[in-house]
Amino acid sequence: MPWRLLLRNVIGHPLRSSLTVGAVTVAVFLICILQAVTSGLSRSLDATAANRLLVQSAVSLFVNLPLGYQQKLSAVEGVDEICKWQWFGGRYEQDKGGFFAQFAIDPEPFLPSYPEMHVVEGSYDEFIRTRTGCVIGRQLADKYDWKVGDRIPILGTIFTRTDGAPWEFIVNAIYESSSPAFEELQMFFHFAYIDESLEQRGATGPRGSGIFMLKIAEGVDPVSVQSTVDELFENGPQRVQTTTEAEFNRQFISMLGDVPQLLRLIGGAVLFAIFFAVLNTMMLTGRERTRDLGVMKAMGFGDGVTAWLLIGESLLLCTLGAGLAVLLAVLLEEPLADGTAAFIPGFAIDRQTLSLGVGIALFVGVVSGILPGVRAARMTTTRALQEVV
């Protein structure tokens, strides 16, 4: 096998080779990113806890449930803890582009309900004691360089203060999460603080809570609790919909359409495009080499060698492309994960994703080489030599 010739064929056509390698790089990189997003989404769904139910209005997530529901819910058998989750939707003053989620919650039942949340700095007890306190995730703290004790001004958009000033929260604790479903780009503060302000007309905004989270006691079937809760409010005043956390997240994602399916389709299209691009290049290359391969056959090189020269070249170009794509993916993983953390909590380019990308590139390489390779092998020497280039 004349390896040097194979290498020279690649190096000897720098423009064609670099364009092909570039195309494969872009395609494999894209496929890796798409795969990372899809698996990130499904990872965060898989990581959701089965023992947590979310109660929301049957009408829409944007309709609040009356606070009076809390009492009725806590009376349901099998409910261990109950905690409000109210989307705050505020804006950090200095924040130019990025957005992060803020929720008003009940500090006391919150911590035992979310064992994946680990306080690593400050004190959660301090948070419970501080009316205007907040708990923030590690990534959020890093993003804005916030420390325990900092005061963070948040301008309300749904809940606005009557004096027009931003809300101010003191960082009491910073947490890290051990589950991809529980993001580190969130801020939690006292529901009571917001509600009190509304009560005293220090602020305006909707009353009630968007969600009641129910933590189910051990050994209790969440499905039975689910139906009990739904039946409880069957006749109003507002009907509710109770879902598992996984189901809730799935619905939330599907508000954007069937994202994973769409991503898979795009990935497929990219795959096809790159396959035809490489195949086309290799077919042209094979045709252009006809005379060369004829001369080699005349010298006594076998049909297999001529075929392998083309398959090897195709494989080499695709391998180079895949290698560059992997390098790019590894280098860009962190900035990409940071940039998308708020939307895709589980985004990670893992080894499996990279192998998928490399596998696709190798497959494209072999198949694109086989067609011109078989043609080269089948061609008779005399006919190849007759070819006028």
Partner 1 sequence: MPAAIRLRSVTKSYSKGGQTLRVLDELDLDMDAATFYALMGPSGSGKTTLLNLVGGLDQADEGVVQVGDEDLAAMQSSELAEWRSEHVGFVFQGFNLLPVLSARENVELPLLLAPLSRRQRRQQAERALELVGLADRMNHKPRELSGGQEQRVAIARAIATDPQVILADEPTGDLDRDTADAVLEMLRRLNRELHKTILMVTHDPQAATYADKTIHLDKGKLGRIEENATPTGGS
Ligand X SMILES: Nc1ncnc2c1ncn2[C@@H]1O[C@H](COP(=O)(O)OP(=O)(O)OP(=O)(O)O)[C@@H](O)[C@H]1O
Enumerate binding residues for partner 1 (CB under 8 A). Answer: 2, 4-5, 8-9, 11-13, 291-292, 295-302, 380-382, 385, 389
CB 338 → partner 1: shortest distance, Å? Answer: 45
CB 283 → ligand X: shortest distance, Å? Answer: 23
The item of ligand X, partner 1, none sharing an interface with residue 161, based on CB under 5 to 8 Å by kind, is none
Q: Report cis status (omega within 30 of 0) of the bond before 237.
A: yes
Residue position matching structure tokens 């996984």 = 246
Q: Which of 251, 206, 305 is nearest to 6 (CA)?
A: 305
**Looking at beta carbons only, is 254 or 382 nearer to ligand X?**
382
In whole angstroms, give the CA distance from residue 211 to residue 216.
Answer: 15
**Looking at beta carbons only, is 150 or 387 nearer to ligand X?**
387
The item of ligand X, partner 1, none sharing an interface with residue 4, based on CB under 5 to 8 Å by kind, is partner 1
Phi-psi region of 54 (alpha: psi -120 to 50; beta: other; left: phi over 0): beta
Query: How does strand 186-190 pair with strand 101-105?
Result: parallel
**Looking at beta carbons only, is 271 or 379 nearer to ligand X?**
379
Burial of residue 88 (number of CB atoms within 10 Å: 0-12, 13-18, 19+): buried
Determine the residue with CB nearest ligand X: 383
The item of partner 1, ligand X, none sharing an interface with residue 144, based on CB under 5 to 8 Å by kind, is none
**Looking at beta carbons only, is 242 or 381 nearer to ligand X?**
381
Number of residues that bind ligand X (CB under 6 A): 2
**Looking at beta carbons only, is 354 or 379 nearer to ligand X?**
379
**Looking at beta carbons only, is 13 or 138 nearer to partner 1?**
13
The item of ligand X, partner 1, none sharing an interface with residue 12, based on CB under 5 to 8 Å by kind, is partner 1
Q: Which of 240, 137, 225 is nearest to 180 (CA)?
A: 137
The item of ligand X, partner 1, none sharing an interface with residue 335, based on CB under 5 to 8 Å by kind, is none
Chain center to CA of 274: 24
Taking residues 239 to 278 in sequence order and writing x for each that binds ligand X by CB under 6 A, - otherwise, the string is ----------------------------------------
CB 303 → ligand X: shortest distance, Å? Answer: 17
The item of ligand X, partner 1, none sharing an interface with residue 299, based on CB under 5 to 8 Å by kind, is partner 1
- On whether the CB atoms of residues 31 and 332 are closer than 8 A, the answer is no
Q: Which residues contact 300 (CB under 8 A, 6 or more apart)?
A: none
CB 386 → ligand X: shortest distance, Å? Answer: 7
**Looking at beta carbons only, is 242 or 381 nearer to partner 1?**
381
**CA distances to 75, 300, 379 from 382, in Å:** 91, 13, 9
Angle between helix 14-46 and 245-254 (nearest 10): 140
Taking residues 349 to 388 in sequence order and writing x for each that binds ligand X by CB under 6 A, - otherwise, the string is ---------------------------------xx-----
Q: Which residues contact 332 (CB under 8 A, 6 or more apart)?
A: none
Chain center to CA of 311: 36
Q: Which of 39, 12, 36, 6 is nearest to 319 (CA)?
A: 6
In whole angstroms, give the CA distance from residue 348 to residue 78.
Answer: 36
Tokens representing 351 are 């080894």
CB 380 → ligand X: shortest distance, Å? Answer: 8
CB 275 → ligand X: shortest distance, Å? Answer: 34
Tokens representing 74 are 């806590």
CB 378 → ligand X: shortest distance, Å? Answer: 14
CB 25 → partner 1: shortest distance, Å? Answer: 23
**Looking at beta carbons only, is 301 or 343 nearer to partner 1?**
301
CB 267 → partner 1: shortest distance, Å? Answer: 35
Chain center to CA of 49: 18
Instruction: Count, in order, helices (H) and strands (E) of the chain.
Output: 14, 13
**Looking at beta carbons only, is 303 or 338 nearer to partner 1?**
303
What does the binding site for ligand X look like in residue numbers (CB under 6 A)?
382-383
